[in-house]
Amino acid sequence: MKTVVLVPCYNEELTIAKVIRDFKRELPDADIYVYDNNSTDRTYEIARENGAIVKKEPRQGKGNVVRAMFFEIDADYYVMVDGDDTYPAEFVHQLLEPLKTGEADMTIGDRLSNGTYEKENKRAFHNLGNNLVRNLINKLYKSNIQDIMTGYRAFNRLFVRSFPVVSKGFEIETEMSIHSLDKGFKIKEIPIDYRDRPEGSESKLNTLSDGLKVIKTIFTLFKDYKPMLFFSFWAVILLILGLVVGVPVIVEFFHTHYITKVPSAILAVGLVLMAMLSFASALILDTVVSHSRKQYEMELHTVYEELKREKEWSR
């Protein structure tokens, strides 16, 4: 069984050598791929000097790097880890074991459950952002994932072959989590220790802009995956606003048989019509998504059968 370690990198010359050495120690038979995403320092050279298979990805953004990795690399098990030395390599065996036993399709290195992330992370608002995203997704998808945005994960071949990468940046981890929840993949979280970046190493994550991108991704995927709930919510809001504006107009008409609040009447009718259109969209798109989900399941079966045949040929 072939295992690969995938390390997306951007300006990680201070830490990439240690990351490679640590994973070589833990997984001596695994191939370690470092994808350099337009680094301006010596990340590329240092990774090659330490024995990694180094490739360049010119399209900026972690999501673009993950897309290239999943397209270009074939393996049975994939470990994805950041190149900043914040994730201890010794936990990789615990991440891989549920994949090998069939217990999971994706395993998640959970930094939050044991409190090490809150203790070690010194970047303002990151803990708040993690909790906000976690609570929002768990509420929307009725799940109980503890660490939505961790960069330490492992996947089996079925997940990698069937995951459509849409995100371009740091929101890729959120996309993976939502995709797994929506499509019914088996997920298992493994509590891990987290350590902050060493002195001199800077995070590439912008708390405000990347946080907004993550929130946007959540709502975009929520709209795409659960249109009935999404558009019904807006239909209810619009209907309530229409009633708030329209009820005084109706009351006036019953008392005087005249309508003097013409602008309010027009606005109320417009809001109610928008509510009806939103609900109609919910019904139509829910049918489309239901059909799409069935089609995805059929394609998943095709991918699964292909993987079975490949496994038989390799014996």
Same structural domain, 120 and 244: no
Same structural domain, 307 and 179: no
**Is the sign of the CA dihedral 274, 275, 280, 282 positive or negative?**
positive
**Cβ burial, residue 251 (10 Å; 0-12/13-18/19+):** exposed
Q: Print the domain residue range for 58.
A: 3-225
Same structural domain, 239 and 179: no
Strand partners, 34: 7, 54
Same structural domain, 46 and 172: yes
Half-sphere exposure of 147 (CA within 13 A, CB side): 24
pLDDT digits (tens, 9 = 90+) for 143-190: 999 998 899 999 999 999 999 998 888 889 989 999 999 999 999 999
Nearest to residue 230, comparing CAs of 177, 284, 192?
284
pLDDT score, position 85: 93
Q: What is the average pLDDT across 241-260?
A: 91
Same structural domain, 188 and 260: no
pLDDT digits (tens, 9 = 90+) for 92-139: 999 999 999 999 999 999 998 887 777 766 555 566 667 778 888 898
Assess contact for 145 and 108: CB atoms under 8 A. Answer: yes
E strand or H helix at 188, and its extent? strand 187-191
